[in-house]
Structure 1
Amino acid sequence: MEDPVVLFVDDDENLLMGLKRRLRGKFNFDTAIGPLEAIAKIKDGARYAVCVADMRMPEMDGVQLLAEVAKLSPDTVGMMLTGNADQKTAVEAINQGRIFRFFNKPCEDDELITGVSAGLRQYQLITAEKALIEQTLAGSVKVLTEVLAQLNPTIFGKAMRAKRWCDRIAGPIGYPHPWELGLAALLAPIGYVSLPPDILARLGEDKALQPLERDVVRRTPEVARNLISHIPRLEQVAQIVYLQYRDYDGSGFPADGPQGQDIPLGSRILRILNDLGKIVESDLVVQQHFEELRQKPKRYDLALLDKIELALADIDPSYDQSTFPEGTEHDIYLKHLRMGDFLMTDIETRDGHVLLTHGNYVSEVQLQRLRVFQKLHQFHEPIRIRRGGGGTGAEE
């Protein structure tokens, strides 16, 4: 592993050449003539353990430069070298530029060497702690995801799909920490470890639950939060998961949680993706899925729903009237039925009750009524439907 590099920045090229001669063999170092060259080097991929910057430079002073370096390379230790050591300069340097040490010009070689050596030790402390936390984090997450995968592969598969969706939408919606969102989606169902095997099995098969069982499942985000919050740096992820079923209008779980824009952005996203995952059969997401979600507008941040639709929804060719003017026929399960589908067979319960007859298009009201009945009755499935062709009423 290469020794950490120290960057000296000054607009005086002669001063930089003098530093090279005086410090040769003491450090592995680089130089930049002025702040713009220093920033360009960092943006091009150069990594520095310590950055020693002159205060008075054109284009950008040392305080501004070190503040910019802190944004581009947060682990880099900043130091200031100046011939104008007034109190105001020192305060600005420390407060704005995250300065570790402050040197006056002219600076004796021994003082500079001692200070830079301390900066290198500080860098080693920072990076060692960061590596330890990241290894702990990665190991803890790996254990939790493996537990979930062993517990129920179907539920784990849905969590992985939700994470892929998060990876796709994070950029377009401007999510500040994409890794956080993806991790929250992956760990969202980890609270299911507290469920009895029979309830877990029915969840994996999308089977209806009894009221008491639904209440038990409803509280699993609290279990998930308690598990995740013990992992370093995942406090925010734990809160996102805890509020994943909090409705935008203030209903949902937990009963006393925030509402509207006070709900964390990640939780508002998971609220949408959780319900989307219940109606999407594969990785293909289409506009009609979002039309179905909009039937319950109080649940979601609708502006966010629009953004997620733009980022995720593809065009379903079975709804393309120009390509399929007569529609296409499909055998589907009831959970995949959509508004506008034309029924080729009756929708009938196992005990012989016909809820919807063939020869009709499915309306919004009928679809909502069917969803209620599905919680109480078993139906003959699959059913035959025709999808596409643009019909909205009874067949002519």
Structure 2
Amino acid sequence: MKILFVDDDARVLEMLRRNLSHRFDVEIQSDPVEALALVRQGNFAVVVADLRMPGMDGFAFLAKVEEASPLTVKIMLTGHADMESAIAGVNEGHLFRFLTKPCSQDTLVKSLDAALEQYRLVTAEKELLRGTLQGCIKVLTEILGQVNPEAFGRSERIKRHVKNMVARLKVKDPWKFELAAMLSQIGCIFIPEDIVSKNRCAGGLTPEESQIYNMHPTVGAQLLSSIPRLEDVREMIVHQEDSLADHPDQPRGARILKICLAFDNLEGCLGNKLDAIGKMKQAEGVYDIHMLDIFERYVLADTGVRPRDIRLVELKEGMILGEDLMSEAGAMLLAKGLEVNSYSLMRLHNVAKAQKVVQPFRVLVPLEE
């Protein structure tokens, strides 16, 4: 784990590197602007900064470090033993330690060891949380896949669109947006599959069916209410069908979901990407225009896949279904847009033992295959 020292005094930096490099992975930088660039590029566990630096003081610098790398542990090292600055730094700057010069090597080493241990604890907790959440989400989506393949297939298609959008928008915590996409249809677990299918085209539902279907974002958010730390994800899901004009404070993630969901419906109904995008651009006040422009550029670009008509024995993980996979009796087995994984492949082979699959069927194969 790397430690970055930032000080405008080159002699101090060289002394620190000479005395500590045998024990720690140390990097030094005298310019706070260049140091910030390093923080954004690298993975520093600890950043130690001087308080008095020309152009940008230590507090301003470490505040920017907090924005760029929230998990990095921050220490202030200064020759100005100002108690008010120390209190402000700890309370406002999220500092782990405030050390004064001259600082003995023993004190500095102990502080760095403690900072590295703090970094290990914070990152371990985050990974544990992420792993726990992903496990919960996997169970929920697999249940949805069993109960309502149409809704599950839709969430799989949406997930790919959202993943591409957050990469282009460079959002913070992209995993939250991807989870929201995966769980966007979880409320459909209580909705008949034929209603979900009919919703692909505007006007396909009766007023009663529309009322039932429109409840799914609220139901989905309620289902997630017992899972801790998913507040942001729940907000995205509950507002995913909102019109921007009616709800100008619509969360950013919900705006992305709104665009991706509408495109999926329109493409399925109209059968053409250009027509789907054109229809969306005609709807004033419904979508975030900036996001819709980014989505249009992304979705009309080369998709990186090639279509193939295959038989069941040729189906592999990583392939994407280019059409609904049906049994000869007319039952949907897997929905269009599903990216085949080991679970869906095993499930399909088990089902095929009892029901004949309509073959051949269309899949999309990544170009690197």
* TM score, norm. by length of structure 2: 0.68
Match of 1:204 in 2: 197
Secondary structure of the residue aligned to 2:123 is helix
Secondary structure of the residue aligned to 2:261 is helix
Number of matched pairs: 297
The one-letter code matched in structure 2 to 1:125 is L
CA offset digits 1:258-282 (Å, max 9, x no partner): x331222333443343333223139
Q: Does 1:162 align with 2:148?
A: no
Distance 2:15 2:181 in 1: 54
Asked if structure 1 preserves the Cα contact closer than 8 Å seen for 2:2 and 2:27, the reply is: no
Across the aligned residues of Structure 1 and Structure 2, the Cα RMSD in angstroms comes to 3.3
- Going from structure 1 to structure 2, the CA distance change for 1:32 and 1:231 (only over 3 Å counts) comes to same
CA offset digits 1:148-190 (Å, max 9, x no partner): 2222333222222222222344455675554433332321110
Distance 1:175 1:41 in 2: 20
Unaligned runs of 5+ residues in structure 1 are: 250-258, 316-396
Match of 1:113 among 109, 125, 129: 109
Match of 2:354 in 1: none
Secondary structure of the residue aligned to 2:179 is helix
Secondary structure of the residue aligned to 1:85 is coil
Distance 2:25 2:270 in 1: 50
Match of 1:274 in 2: 261
Distance 1:239 1:111 in 2: 46
CA offset digits 1:202-248 (Å, max 9, x no partner): 53365955544443322122220022233343211112211223334
The one-letter code matched in structure 2 to 1:132 is L
- Going from structure 1 to structure 2, the CA distance change for 1:291 and 1:17 (only over 3 Å counts) comes to closer
Distance 1:307 1:284 in 2: 20
Identity %: 36
Secondary structure of the residue aligned to 1:102 is strand
- Going from structure 1 to structure 2, the CA distance change for 1:69 and 1:313 (only over 3 Å counts) comes to closer
Match of 1:150 among 137, 146, 153: 146
Match of 1:10 in 2: 7
More relative contact order, 1 or 2 (CA 8 Å, 6+ apart): 2
Distance 1:38 1:176 in 2: 21
> What displacement does 1:312 show?
4.9
Q: Does 1:194 align with 2:169?
A: no
- Going from structure 1 to structure 2, the CA distance change for 1:118 and 1:129 (only over 3 Å counts) comes to same
- Going from structure 1 to structure 2, the CA distance change for 1:54 and 1:283 (only over 3 Å counts) comes to farther
Superposition map of 1:282-293 within 5 A? 286-293=273-280
Distance 1:73 1:146 in 2: 34
Secondary structure of the residue aligned to 2:133 is helix
Q: Does 1:238 align with 2:231?
A: no
> What displacement does 1:79 show?
0.8
Asked if structure 1 preserves the Cα contact closer than 8 Å seen for 2:220 and 2:237, the reply is: yes
Match of 1:39 in 2: 36
Match of 2:73 in 1: 77
CA offset digits 1:117-170 (Å, max 9, x no partner): 222222122112111111112212222222222223332222222222223444
- Going from structure 1 to structure 2, the CA distance change for 1:221 and 1:229 (only over 3 Å counts) comes to same
Secondary structure of the residue aligned to 2:248 is helix
Asked if structure 2 preserves the Cα contact closer than 8 Å seen for 1:35 and 1:60, the reply is: no
Match of 1:254 in 2: none
Secondary structure of the residue aligned to 2:26 is strand
Match of 2:367 in 1: none
Unaligned runs of 5+ residues in structure 2 are: 302-369
Q: Which has the larger radius of gyration?
A: 1
Match of 1:134 in 2: 130
Match of 1:52 among 48, 51, 63: 48
> What displacement does 1:32 show?
0.6
Stretch moving more, 275-284 or 116-125: 275-284
- Going from structure 1 to structure 2, the CA distance change for 1:43 and 1:168 (only over 3 Å counts) comes to closer
Match of 1:97 in 2: 93
- Going from structure 1 to structure 2, the CA distance change for 1:41 and 1:308 (only over 3 Å counts) comes to closer
